[in-house]
């Protein structure tokens, strides 16, 4: 007897690993005058989780409590262990600009311990996910936060040194890092420090995530 149902089951219910950034080996992150990065990304993650679950997505968080220390390597391993279809890393920027930026790994990097990654397949799938995700998020945020760009890991400090971010190097699943806003910009901070702004961000991220999940496996 053939079991076509099994194939259908395997395709249902995608898994997303949401990674609220920090505390990690790089510290607690940045802070504004009203809210810290640690608080902001944790609150947005908690807002995003039920939105995805309502769409039939299984959600795994990389930590159980806001202040739980999880190294960036471990965060990727949690996504790998959960066989996530996407690892979505949430951070806030400290910079001179404004808006939301999405980063994806564009080449194989080498971590401090010599580990190389991600694989060519993960690079390809992360690129496709980023290109589906970012425009949808930006469209949803019109009037709330500007577009700060779709960028590669190489455009970050650590990425420029290693070739890719540590969380990308260890990821065996498609990975995106979102700098939700520039926390050192008062206009941006006002958005993420407000409940309404975080809700708007979570809704935009949910729409972008669903767009990324809809991309066929390359
Ligand atoms: Zn951060």
> Is-contact 145 191, C-beta < 8 A?
yes
C-alpha 22 – ligand 1 centre gap (Å): 6
C-alpha 100 – ligand 1 centre gap (Å): 13
Q: CATH code at 192?
A: 3.40.630.40
State the total domains in the chain. 1
Whether residue 5 is contained in a domain is answered as: no
Whether residue 2 is contained in a domain is answered as: no
* Interatomic CA distance for residues 27 and 99, integer angstroms: 23
C-alpha 139 – ligand 1 centre gap (Å): 23
Q: What is the SS3 assignment for 39?
A: helix
Domain enclosing residue 48, as ranges? 12-213
Residue 101 has pLDDT above 80, yes or no: yes
- The verdict on whether omega for the bond into residue 61 sits within 30 degrees of 0, i.e. cis, is no
DSSP H helical ranges for 12-54:
37-53
Whether residue 81 is contained in a domain is answered as: yes
Residue 2 has pLDDT above 90, yes or no: no
Whether residue 117 is contained in a domain is answered as: yes
Whether residue 112 is contained in a domain is answered as: yes
pLDDT at residue number 112? 93
Whether residue 80 is contained in a domain is answered as: yes
pLDDT at residue number 152? 98
pLDDT tens digit string along 163-195? 999 999 999 999 999 999 999 999 999 999 999
- The residue-averaged pLDDT of 98-125 equals 98
Whether residue 7 is contained in a domain is answered as: no
- The residue-averaged pLDDT of 118-139 equals 98
C-alpha 83 – ligand 1 centre gap (Å): 24
C-alpha 68 – ligand 1 centre gap (Å): 15
Global pTM reads: 0.94
> Is-contact 21 89, C-beta < 8 A?
yes
User: Is residue 129 packed enough to be buried (19+ CB in 10 Å), middle (13-18) or exposed (0-12)?
Assistant: buried
Provide, rounded to the nearest whole percent, the portion of the chain with pLDDT above 90.
93
Whether residue 1 is contained in a domain is answered as: no
C-alpha 142 – ligand 1 centre gap (Å): 23
- Element holding 198 (H helix, E strand): helix 195-213
pLDDT tens digit string along 85-96? 999 999 999 999
C-alpha 181 – ligand 1 centre gap (Å): 11
The sign one gets for the Cα dihedral 44, 66, 211, 54 is negative
Residue 19 has pLDDT above 80, yes or no: yes
């Amino acid at each position: 007897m053939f079991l076509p149902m099994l194939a259908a089951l395997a395709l249902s219910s995608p898994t997303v690993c949401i990674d609220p950034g920090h505390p990690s080996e790089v510290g607690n992150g940045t802070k504004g005058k009203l809210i810290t990065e640690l608080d902001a990304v944790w609150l947005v993650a908690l807002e995003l989780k039920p939105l995805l679950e309502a769409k039939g997505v299984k959600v795994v968080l990389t930590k159980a409590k806001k202040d739980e220390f999880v190294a960036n390597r471990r965060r990727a391993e949690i996504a790998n262990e959960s066989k996530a279809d996407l690892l979505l890393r949430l951070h806030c920027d400290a910079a001179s600009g404004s808006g939301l930026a999405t980063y994806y790994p564009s080449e194989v990097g080498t971590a401090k311990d010599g580990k190389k990654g991600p694989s060519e397949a993960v690079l390809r799938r992360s690129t496709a996910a980023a290109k589906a995700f970012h425009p949808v998020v930006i469209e949803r945020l019109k009037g709330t936060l500007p577009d700060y760009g779709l960028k590669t890991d190489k455009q970050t400090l650590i990425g420029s040194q290693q070739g890719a971010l540590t969380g990308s190097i260890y990821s065996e699943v498609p990975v995106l890092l979102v700098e939700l806003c520039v926390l050192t910009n008062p206009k941006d901070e006002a958005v993420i420090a407000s409940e309404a702004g975080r809700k708007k961000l979570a809704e935009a991220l949910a729409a972008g995530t669903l767009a990324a999940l809809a991309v066929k496996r390359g």
